[in-house]
Amino acid sequence: MLGSGGSKPTAFDRYHPAVAFGYFACMLAFSMAAMQPVYLALSLAAALAYSVVLRGMRATLRTVLWQMPLILVMAVANPLFSAMGSTELFRIGLRAFYLESLVFGACMGAMLSCVLLWFSNASRALSSDKVMALFGNAAPTIGLMLSMAMRLVPQFMRRGAAVGDVQRACTSAGAAGPREGARSRLRLTSVLMGWDMEDSLDTADAMRARGWGACARRTTYQRCRFRARDGAALGVLAALVALNAVLAYAACTQFHFYPVLSVLAVWWGYVPFAVLAFAPLALEARERARWTR
């Protein structure tokens, strides 16, 4: 069974695209604005769990494998540029490394990982047809840009994997050392850039041939009707977002990285955000339970 656009079906397929768009926009906003360890941990855990549901364990692990070094680099690099804090870990010459700077860098890396994962999940739950149905008439250019941007990163990764497989299959492309490995990666990047630029020209020609921009109002392939349950879902989402905005503001203002790292305590205010973050998993579980009865 396939969802819209030939992708794997999700629980959001039963709702209007505005529900999924509103949810992912709110989660991205919380991930970027709530710079607090517990909120980042909950957002990252929910994004990873939902990625496993949408993409599978193997694809999610591949994503984690290249994101973990990014988090480590940001955690280690922040003390090099921001020597702030009160808990000194060690010194290298005159440069002191503090725990507070290390934790802040790790949180920055986790925030970036959250944003990338939620964008990846949104690209799976919101197909190009849904984005165009949502914005096609009101803002066709913005809708087209959003739909193309959301598919750009997954497409780039798939093409990179395909080019890498072809290079590894060629005996002459085998990397004999660090220099050859660097040349191979540069060659892969060059092929990808050329492929994408050629694809953009083909896409532009195809759009002109199909009459893009020839009329003021366009029809959409997928009809999306706004029903009562969609309004109820948006109402529940708005209530949860409003509650969590107040609680996240209180948590972020009470937590400090500098000059002394605040101590985290058990607080009931994290529960509403956990409900919001893990809501898609609950919807997926309910949907699968309905189909297995």
Helix (H), strand (E) at residue 276: helix 270-277
| 72 pLDDT above the threshold of 60 | yes
Least confident of 11-15, 92-96, 175-179, 229-233: 175-179
Is pLDDT at 4 greater than 60 in this prediction?
no
Mean pLDDT of the 165-179 span:
68
From the list 112, 30, 29, the residue with the least C-alpha distance to 74 is: 112
Q: What is the mean pLDDT of residues 64-74?
A: 82
Q: How far apart are CA 132 and CA 13, in angstroms?
A: 15
Q: What is the pLDDT of residue 2?
A: 45
Asked if 257 and 104 touch (Cβ cutoff 8 Å), the reply is: yes
Ranges of each domain in the chain: 1-129+226-293, 137-219
Nearest to 232 by CA among 9, 59, 14, 65: 14
**Per-residue pLDDT tens digits for 217-235:** 655 556 677 888 889 999 9
Q: In this predicted structure, which of 30-34, 61-65, 214-218, 273-277 has the lowest mean pLDDT?
A: 214-218
Model-wide pTM > 0.85: no
pLDDT of residue 1: 42
pLDDT exceeding 90 applies to what percent of the chain? 29
User: Per-residue pLDDT tens for 6-22?
Assistant: 467 788 888 888 899 99
